[in-house]
Amino acid sequence: MERFNLLINNFESLNKELKIVSTQLKKENKEFYNSIVENSTNYIAVIQEGKFVFINSKGLKLLRCTSSADIIGKNILDTIHADHQYIVIDRLATTSNLPITPVHLKNIRFDKTFFDTESNLIPFVYNKKPATLIISRDITPDLEYNTALQVEEKLRTDILNSFKEVIAFYSINHNIIWLNDAGKEQLNIKDDSYIGELCHNVWFNNNKPCMNCPVVSRVFVPTERIVTLNDNRIWMVRHTPLFDDNGTLTGFVEYRSDITEKENTKNELERSHARQIRAEIANSFGHIESDLTTGLQIWSHGAYNIFGHSYSENQTSHKENFVKYIHHEDSEQVKQLLQLTYNGKKKFDFIFRIIDANDKEKTVRGIGEVRIDPVTKNKKFFGVLQDITHISNLEKQIFDERQKYKMLAENAPLGLILTQNNKPVYINKTTMSWLGLKSLLDFEKIGFVGLFHPNDRKIAEELSLKLKDNNVPSPLVKKLRILNSNGDIRYIRLDLVNNTINCQKYVQTVLIDITSDVLKEKKQKQVAADALYMNQKNTILSEIESVLTKTLTDKKFSKSQKEFKKIFDIINSYKQLDKDWKMLIANFEEVHPDFFSKLKKIHPMLSSNDIKHCACIKMNFETKEIARFFNIKASSVQISRVRLKKKMNLSDSIDLRSYILSF
């Protein structure tokens, strides 16, 4: 009996210990469970009889409640948008324990703003009573981001469709993924029936890939090649590989520029992979959604960056109107355009300046329109902003460079022509004046070759061929004649050199007017020819006179003295050496002014024959020509030069011809 009582006592003692342990375990489990619920990133609540009986801190934060007392006992439908209340009512009535698909709910905060959640409503037992457990994930940032992406995607598509060049995206299996409008026009298609087709079938009607196709060879760097389509048009084709975030090749973007008619392309598309494109869009684009009824504005991450604000994940709205950041000089015009947009009269598309929160001036392009919100039925302005400050600054820099170049070119006394692919892009005023042209259009009509004298156009055509590739092998210098609109001839020296302005290649043709030099050279040759002619004429006449004088001594001709005297008078009238020399001097000084005065001033001891000898050297006479001029032997000319050098007190190291030519 005592043993039995002992067993009973031990059992009761063990039972008490088990109860204590069980109670402790339940307490620890409850605390552990509560810590998990409280620290959850999801909005968790328990509903009984349609009212809140529990909510975690994330739920309080999303509903913008100060404490649980604000929400406990409240009807859950008070926090659900009217359009979504039927979903909650239906789920609260469900008692099945089968897995339930999450639903999209639009929730109402205590401050009457909205947020979106992906919610699970699960039958549950709370405090031994039937209840519904709600687990919700805030998807507002995701929806906002997706909306911004859609707008940005449309904007990017519009930009790509604005190109005259063909732009296409291909998979690594040769399938066409997307074509811009220029590509569709080239293929004469209006729908998306081309999607999924093999690129070589669409473009070239080939069953096999093109030779050297980068899609086949898996080229991992941008490539460029020239191809000819079935219509014999020539295209410059550039391929840029596209990679995913893991660096795996996923496809190619193709950029086709029609170079058959030498169209100049101003922009290069997609030089790097898709990740770089997305990064550029994310950094420079921002999305703004403005409720015209409530005044509430929702800004995307990019919009916060543009206006100089920091961004947090929980920040889904902004109380300030973006208009307050607009530069005061642009503010009035932007407001007027926005008002027209709000009234539905036109879409907003304008470039303006802003002063961001950090007092930094930026240039922004804004595009937007007004739509009706399908949920609130309120008018909303949806806008996309692009920070184009760097583009604006670059354009200003390019403009300044062009203006600087133009100012220097316009004030230059030289002619200047800039050509690109053999087409004139600039011609300065001096050239216009020389050619008698009024505008660049007049120049384009006659063309580069048409500027020149018919006898020089063959050379001009050769030069024109070198202008086509914007690459002159080495600086070229040519002397040609040009004709103005009146048919007047001007002699020009052309210097052709390669030039690069703002990263673009040109051929710069400098025109130097050498008309006066050419005419002077012609005059000099004429003077020299006249001098030789005069000397030869007088020499011949003297020889004739000598022969006639000897003949007259013959008695046979004594009766003819009167006739001979007439002949002598005629000869003497043509000789007139002094008169001929004076005329020669006048013509010489026209070409070489001050030559004689300088020579006499520096060397006053020179005789008249010495001065004539110096003049012959200045006219580039050879030794034989000087001998003929003075009617002496060539050896005598050499002796005369030695004497002349002594008279002029020139050292042996000085060349007489070079010295006289320097005057």
Domain 285-387 has CATH 3.30.450.20: yes
196 token code pair: 């999924």
- CATH code of 40-138, in short, is 3.30.450.20
480 token code pair: 């040609």
pLDDT at 22 over 60: no
CB-hemisphere CA count at 13 Å for 470?
16
**Cα(314)–Cα(312) distance, rounded to whole angstroms?**
6
**Cα(73)–Cα(48) distance, rounded to whole angstroms?**
9
Res 51: pLDDT: 92
Cα–Cα–Cα angle for 516, 522, 523, rounded to 5 degrees = 85
Instruction: Map 222-235 to HEC letters.
Output: CEEEEEECCCCCEE
Mean pLDDT, residues 157-161 taken together: 78
Q: Can you give the residue ranges of every domain in the chain?
A: 1-28, 40-138, 164-268, 285-387, 409-513, 518-661
| Same fold for the pair 40-138 and 285-387 | yes
Averaged pLDDT score across all residues of the chain:
74
**Cα(301)–Cα(313) distance, rounded to whole angstroms?**
9
Residues 517-532 have pLDDT tens digits of 777 777 776 666 666 6
Mean pLDDT, residues 167-179 taken together: 82
Q: Supply the DSSP string of 336-393, one letter for each residue.
A: HHHHHHHTTSS-EEEEEEEE-TTS-EEEEEEEEEEEE-TTT--EEEEEEEEE-HHHHH
Q: How confident is the model at residue 419 (pLDDT cuts 50, 70, 90)?
A: confident
The answer to whether 510 and 491 are in contact (CB under 8 A) is no
Put simply, whether the predicted model's pTM sits higher than 0.75 gets the answer: no
Reduce the DSSP state of residue 188 to 3 states and report it.
coil
Q: Which CATH architecture has domain 409-513?
A: 2-Layer Sandwich (3.30)
Q: Supply the DSSP string of 66-80, one letter for each residue.
A: SSGGGTTT-BGGGGB
Which of 33-42, 285-294, 298-307, 399-408 is predicted with the least confidence, judged by mean pLDDT? Answer: 399-408
Q: Supply the DSSP string of 559-589, one letter for each residue.
A: GGHHHHHHHHHHHHHHH-HHHHHHHHHHHHH
576: region left, alpha or beta (phi > 0 left; psi from -120 to 50 alpha):
left
Which of 100-104, 189-193, 228-232 is predicted with the least confidence, judged by mean pLDDT? Answer: 228-232
Res 23: pLDDT: 55
Res 164: pLDDT: 78
Write the burial class of residue 377 (CB in 10 Å: 0-12 exposed, 13-18 middle, 19+ buried).
Answer: exposed
CA 419 vs CA 410, 472, 488, 500, 606: distances in Å: 16, 12, 25, 11, 56
For residue 178, give the nearest of 94, 252, 230, 270 by alpha carbon. Answer: 252
- CATH code of 164-268, in short, is 3.30.450.20
- Spell out the alpha helix ranges (H) of 510-633: 515-552, 561-575, 577-591, 595-602, 608-618, 623-630
Residues 195-215 have pLDDT tens digits of 888 776 777 666 666 655 655
